[in-house]
Structure 1
Amino acid sequence: MPIPLHAQEFSRNSDLFNQQIAAVLSHIKPPIFPKKEFKVQVKQGHSFQQAVNQTIEACHKTGGGRVTVSKGEYVCNGPIRMLSNVNLHLSEEAIIRFGTNPADYLPLVKVRWEGTVCYNYSPLVYANGQKNLAITGKGIFDGQADKFWFVWKKQPNGDDQEKAKTILRKMGETGVPESQRVFGEGYKLRPTLLEFYDCEGILLEGFTAQQSPFWTIHPVFSKNITIRNLTIHHGTTNDDGIDPDSCEDVLIENCDINTDDDPISIKAGRDQDAWSRKGSRNIVVRKCTLRSRIANGFCIGSEMSGGVENVWVDDCRIPTANLGLTLKANLDRGGFVRKLWVRNIMIDSCRQAAIRMQMDYHSYRGGNFPPDFDQITLENIQVHSARDYGWWLVGVPAKPIGFVQIRNIKFDYIGKGNKAEFVNLKTND
């Protein structure tokens, strides 16, 4: 069992950790908006979706400001389109419930769906190529997945989600041009709740997101992102909470997330489609509570083929999860995860393992592109109960996991002990 660090060594490590985080945070600047307010007012004969988008456009055209949704319940039959220099503010007791007719989320827009770029139904809240934008306030976005989307993906008449995923992944593998990767009608690729694609200067603060049809908060190819004080409730399946995907300079803090999939997952694209694109780097996650009924507390992957580096996770609690802290990939992925530092984590209960690094994650298609996991430090971790393993770190003979440090970790209960194969592991036991 690892023993506590000497006080002097702990102080040096803590100072270095804090210095590195400070360097990243110096590049993250939340957007600032003109002190002008535009209130969303639904005129007779108009829908809420028309009203909110028209108000956003008017605010944008006059140089920006705050677009306020007053308290009340609204049905939004179609996407909200965010534009530069706009802060969409959801007042307390404002609830926006998104409609459940897929045709309302046309025309198709460019997204990254499970790691592969394509054209699909619009996310429920969407921006592309915008700068200086925010969503704030204490209101609620409700994707109503429980009322429609989960069942819809399995309905007949068109390719179900699994068939569509296979088609899309083959397109990414073989380099089919993006303009030919057209999905939407006839397919069942569910939209994300909120996706900012190729944007810069993003603030997401204070609101609640629930019942997302698919991943909940999904910034893609974006940078300078602040996500704080969000509450995210679960949907039905594949409802990841926050997934920065090939993003740079990201702060996630003080969020309370409870999902049926991964509460936070750092991503960087899938397989060949991501190898020539940028990855994710300079990401700080701190003071979050992360619950999952079937998946991981905090993870990187499995879509990480563009590479993930320079990630710091600090002072988070995982009350319950299948796996606590996870790096996941398979031999199709390539890419890398390196320079990850995790500290001050409380894991109350996990079923399979408190810490897991694996290169045999599902959806393997027979490739031979082992990922590179290296320069990983995990320290000051308290685990109350790990039903199976404390840590389960398994590389492959052709590509062992690189340098991993585990320091100052305490388990109250482990069912099967620890497992380490094909890994350069250092512990202070």
Structure 2
Amino acid sequence: MKKILLILILIITISCKKNQKAEHSFDENYAQAKIDTAWNHTMPDILKQIVPPTFKDTTYSISDTLNFRETINKVIEQVSVNGGGTISVAPGDYFVKGSIFMKSNVNLHLLEGVVLNFSPNPLDYLPVVKMRWEGTFIMNYSPLIYAIEQENIAITGKGIIDGHCEEIWASWKQKQKPDKMRARQMGNDKIPLEERVFGEEHFLRPTGIQFIECKNVLLEDFTIKSTPFWTINPILSENITVRRLNIQRGITNDDGIDPESCKNVLIEHCVINTHDDCIAIKAGRDQDGWPYPPSENIIIRNNDFTNIVGSGFCIGSEMSAGVRNVFAENNILRGSDKHAFQFKSNPDRGGFIEEVYMRNMQVKNPVKYGFEFTTDYKGWRGNKHFVKYNNFYFQNITLEEASEISIKINGRVEENIHKIYMENISVKRSPAPVIANHTKDLLLKNISVNGKIINDQDIITTIKKK
């Protein structure tokens, strides 16, 4: 009997080891199976869950250019109480003396010819409201357009939203460091939100559009430019459609679209021309981000990107709750002084970045870095909350020039980067081919730099072999 038991245990042990080996095997068959499942099953299933909101067939017209901000907020409130509908703003120039507060079941429709000129006076954005600033919740100046805990909301139409950041907000970048460090320390120490008060006599700029804990959001067709800080920043929100927007630059830190701890997001057919990152997927900063859900199920397709100092597409660096199931395809990047594609974190963050799929992308003008994975991006506490990177798949991507490095993958001794598959990647000009440190399971198929196919021996690396 004992012999039989020993034999059974031996068989089970061998079987488990075989299964573990098969489970962790990373080769082209594994990669292609993952890619097939992701694009043909996972992404279509996500798309089915992203449904733009619809509104009651009632339209209210606004044309009050003298008291627009007071009028629009009153009408939004009343329309929401009455069950919703569309508020149509007639063509004209409107001075907006403070924030617009969106409410459930309201579509704010800006007809072509509308220009909403938001006040450049910071005092007009008081009293303070709950908002997230670079991944940390604080009480601060209200965003230009703001919503919290609302459902079925939309901003549509071909009008223009102008944040006029150049007049006052632009000077705050040089003044913000003490407040920035204080906010981050409060997040680290889990100080109660009601004690994290900024606003007047502080210098943390508000975002352009920030919706917190909202469901069923549509942003469509309008132009938005010159916002004080990140342009569009939905947070802890679900079922978001962003399409055909024209986002134009303002000052530094003017990211185009930053979904943060959001689920089921579609960004398509947008033109984004910013100073900083065009798209940055985020999920909270350090300890302050850990209690919240990850950003997941995000689709970015058929967009046109241009920027100066940031990335065309990036994940992080505020990503502490994690990011997964990201799909990007058929986007064009017209150049950046820094990165085409960046995945950034540091040991203060914790969390994970996983299941990222990108294909059919063109980078038409020079960038400094083609692809960069970094695990030491501006960390300042020296913690050991190492981020897990796992399962990245890139196909059919062309870059005209990466003036410093074509592909740079820097993991850590403590936490390697796992499972990166690159297929049909062409970098026409670059002084450095591929750098990969502390990376486990890197597969390259038809990767060319300067017209030369890159093989394993061409990689500057400390890759850990399987």
Q: TM-score range by the shorter chain?
A: over 0.9
- Deviation, structure 1 residue 407: 0.9
- 1: CA distance between counterparts of 2:281 and 2:366? 20
Structure 2 residue 108 is matched with structure 1 residue 93: no
**Residues 327-370 of structure 1 deviation map (CA, whole Å, 9 limit, x = unaligned):** 00111111100001011110123432111100111243211111
Q: Which has a greater percent of helix? A: 2
Which of 413, 420, 433 aligns to 1:404? It is 420
- Deviation, structure 1 residue 210: 0.2
Structure 2 residue 363 is matched with structure 1 residue 337: no
Structure 2 residue 89 is matched with structure 1 residue 73: no
- 2: CA distance between counterparts of 1:69 and 1:48? 10
Which of 359, 363, 373 aligns to 1:357? It is 373
Q: Which amino acid aligns with 1:26?
A: K
Q: Report sequence identity in percent.
A: 40
Structure 2 residue 47 is matched with structure 1 residue 32: no
- Deviation, structure 1 residue 124: 0.3
Structure 2 residue 395 is matched with structure 1 residue 373: no
Count the aligned residue pairs.
415
- Deviation, structure 1 residue 280: 0.4
Aligned partner of 1:178 in structure 2 is: 193
Question: What TM-score do the two structures reach when normalised by structure 2?
Answer: 0.87
Structure 2 residue 334 is matched with structure 1 residue 319: yes
- 1: CA distance between counterparts of 2:418 and 2:87? 49
Q: Per the alignment, in what secondary structure is the counterpart of residue 169 of structure 1?
A: helix
- Please say which structure displays the higher CA radius of gyration: 2
- 2: CA distance between counterparts of 1:11 and 1:198? 35
Q: Which moved more, 1:411-420 or 1:258-267?
A: 411-420
Aligned partner of 1:130 in structure 2 is: 150
- Deviation, structure 1 residue 13: 4.3
- 2: CA distance between counterparts of 1:16 and 1:144? 42
Aligned partner of 2:258 in structure 1 is: 243
Q: Per the alignment, in what secondary structure is the counterpart of residue 384 of structure 2?
A: coil
- 2: CA distance between counterparts of 1:392 and 1:102? 41
Q: Which amino acid aligns with 2:69?
A: Q
Q: Per the alignment, in what secondary structure is the counterpart of residue 219 of structure 1?
A: coil
What are the ranges of 5 or more consecutive residues in structure 1 without an aligned counterpart? 1-5, 155-159
Q: Which amino acid aligns with 1:311?
A: V
CA contact (8 A) 1:126 1:194 kept: yes
- Deviation, structure 1 residue 103: 1.1
- 1: CA distance between counterparts of 2:379 and 2:163? 27
Question: What TM-score do the two structures reach when normalised by structure 1?
Answer: 0.94
- Structure 1 residue runs of 4 or more that deviate by more than 6 Å after TM superposition: 9-12
Aligned partner of 2:244 in structure 1 is: 229
Flag the structure with more relative contact order, 1 or 2, with Cα contacts below 8 A and sequence separation at least 6.
1
CA contact (8 A) 2:144 2:209 kept: yes
Aligned partner of 1:427 in structure 2 is: 444
Aligned partner of 1:110 in structure 2 is: 130
Aligned partner of 2:41 in structure 1 is: 19
CA contact (8 A) 2:347 2:379 kept: no
CA contact (8 A) 2:401 2:428 kept: yes
- 2: CA distance between counterparts of 1:16 and 1:328? 23
Which of 115, 123, 147 aligns to 2:167? It is 147
Instruction: Note the aligned Cα RMSD (angstroms).
Output: 1.6
